Amino acid sequence: MSTGMMKIGVCGVGTVGMATLNILRGQADSIASRAGRSLSVTHVGARTQYSEHDYGAARVSQDVMDVARDPEVDILVELIGGTGVAFDLIKLAIAEGKHVVTANKALIAEHGNELIALAESAGVQIRFEASVAGGIPIIKTLREAMAANQVSEVAGIINGTGNFILTEMSTKGREFEDVLAEAQALGYAEVDPTFDIDGTDAAHKLVILASLAFGIPLSIDAPFKQGINAITPADLEYAATMGYRVKHLGIARQRAEGIEMRVHPTLIPESKQLASVDGVLNAVMIAGSEVGELVLIGPGAGGAATASSVCADLIDIARQPRSSSLALGTPVASLVAQPTIPNGEIASEWYVRLTAADQPGVMSDITHILAAHDISIESLVQQPPAAGEDQVPIVLLTHLAREAVMNEALQEIMDLEGVQPDSALIRVEGFDH
């Protein structure tokens, strides 16, 4: 390993990879002065070489494994994505004694325990600031700035595509499919947007945040996840008339019985900061025992913003290449698993939308069923039927109820004569600590 200049190998030169090369070139002087040495990309792993890509003086290999094997390279930057080639590449780089920087949340959430343990044994660093909330320095904040706190909660908007879709639907009344198509055309959503929409991408990031916040191992199967595709413009409108905004949140919360970890659409009071974070922005709220509540807001994706975090990791390594990075705040062997609280056991307030026949008795049957399950109604909006219609939407907010109980009650309500099969059930989070 060199003692002067840090030699960097970049594997995967797509959106984030090219932006990383551009920052390292464009900001070379200030980066060298902050890192205490210069950082130079000496080897690029590019499966496809595009004529418009300028890799400078770097050696270029089509096989990314050649970069991991290059004895000249000090730090390998993995910007391929996924859990296949990227996993093998990082293992090889660590075995070859190289530090690793990655933006790959899926890989860290799924294989992070193993990769970090390998890095610890090999005496190299693995850093992944860009893997959660792109340009927001949330990992450094949790791992370093919050180190004196007991964290009781991390919650946020951690998928920009989903937030863009919900914002467009709520501010312009647009339909889900229509906004999704625009998000793809604008390059916010992946070509296959499944992970953005069904909550998988946010769940990967939540797994990483929860590990840092609570000192637990990365647990890919822990989060409950629910996507945004069932949200209708009508639900967003009803929520707004009741003083709420709907956001797709990842929430990890420490309870006496264990950890809550869930990703789902959520009604938030308009007065809360998270409620006003719109478009492709991300925001993460952290509640700490000493500092209180912090909210970090910023670009959660995009080449330059994400590469800004990649480069910050590179500079950290260049400053102190011999230190142990403690990727999750403590050695992996010191992480302590905690039970995950099943979603059905988690109580919250609820937004319920039903459609029912505008006839005497239906409303009292509904309230009777809720009362029989000890679910009290906080507010209720019943619209008059539209001209020529005999069905009316009924929207209500409940007080605290466990999800399992809420589902039981809703099923009984749906079985009532005069109640339509179409309904919505969304958690409400007040974030009142």
Ligand X SMILES: NC(=O)c1ccc[n+]([C@@H]2O[C@H](COP(=O)([O-])OP(=O)(O)OC[C@H]3O[C@@H](n4cnc5c(N)ncnc54)[C@H](OP(=O)(O)O)[C@@H]3O)[C@@H](O)[C@H]2O)c1
Smallest distance from the beta carbon of 41 to ligand X, in angstroms?
A: 14
Q: Which of the residues 205, 225, 247, 272 is marked catalytic?
A: 205
Q: Is 172 a catalytic residue?
A: no
Smallest distance from the beta carbon of 226 to ligand X, in angstroms?
A: 21
Measured distance CA(22)–CA(12) in Å, rounded: 14
Measured distance CA(276)–CA(308) in Å, rounded: 25
Please report whether residue 13 would count as binding ligand X according to CB under 6 A.
yes
Smallest distance from the beta carbon of 16 to ligand X, in angstroms?
A: 4
Whichever of 60 and 380 has its CB closer to ligand X, that residue is 60
* Closest CA relative to residue 159, chosen from 208, 118, 106, 200: 200
Residues 76-115 that bind ligand X (CB under 6 A): 79-81, 85, 103-105
Residues 244-303 that bind ligand X (CB under 6 A): 301-302
Question: Which residue number places its CB atom closest to ligand X?
Answer: 14
Whichever of 104 and 125 has its CB closer to ligand X, that residue is 104
Q: What are the DSSP E strand ranges found in 97-178?
A: 99-102, 126-127, 151-157
**How many residues does the structure list for the chain?**
433
Backbone angles phi and psi of 216, in degrees to 5: -105, 155
Please report whether residue 130 would count as binding ligand X according to CB under 6 A.
yes
Tokens coding 111: 């294989």
Please report whether residue 306 would count as binding ligand X according to CB under 6 A.
yes
Smallest distance from the beta carbon of 31 to ligand X, in angstroms?
A: 20
Measured distance CA(407)–CA(397) in Å, rounded: 14
Smallest distance from the beta carbon of 409 to ligand X, in angstroms?
A: 40
Q: What mask of x and - would describe binding to ligand X in positions 29 to 58, judged by CB under 6 A? A: ------------------xx----------
- State the CB neighbour count (10 A cutoff) for residue 10: 30
Please report whether residue 241 would count as binding ligand X according to CB under 6 A.
no
Please report whether residue 179 would count as binding ligand X according to CB under 6 A.
no
Whichever of 170 and 211 has its CB closer to ligand X, that residue is 211
Smallest distance from the beta carbon of 265 to ligand X, in angstroms?
A: 22
- State the CB neighbour count (10 A cutoff) for residue 350: 22
Q: What are the DSSP E strand ranges found in 74-134?
A: 75-78, 99-102, 126-127
Q: Characterize 379-401 residue by residue with b for buried, 16 or more Cβ atoms within 10 angstroms of its Cβ, and e for exposed.
A: eeeeeeeeeeeeebbbbbbbeeb
250: Cβ–Cβ under 8 A, 6 or more apart, which residues?
Answer: 154, 155, 156, 158, 202, 203, 205, 206, 209, 223, 262, 263
Whichever of 22 and 367 has its CB closer to ligand X, that residue is 22
What are the Cα distances from residue 218, in Å, to 214, 285, 309? 10, 20, 21
Whichever of 12 and 199 has its CB closer to ligand X, that residue is 12
Q: Could you say which of 21, 23, 39, 64 contacts ligand X (CB under 6 A)?
A: 64
Cite the active site residues: 205
Which positions touch ligand X (CB under 6 A)?
12-17, 47-48, 64, 79-81, 85, 103-105, 130, 134, 301-302, 306
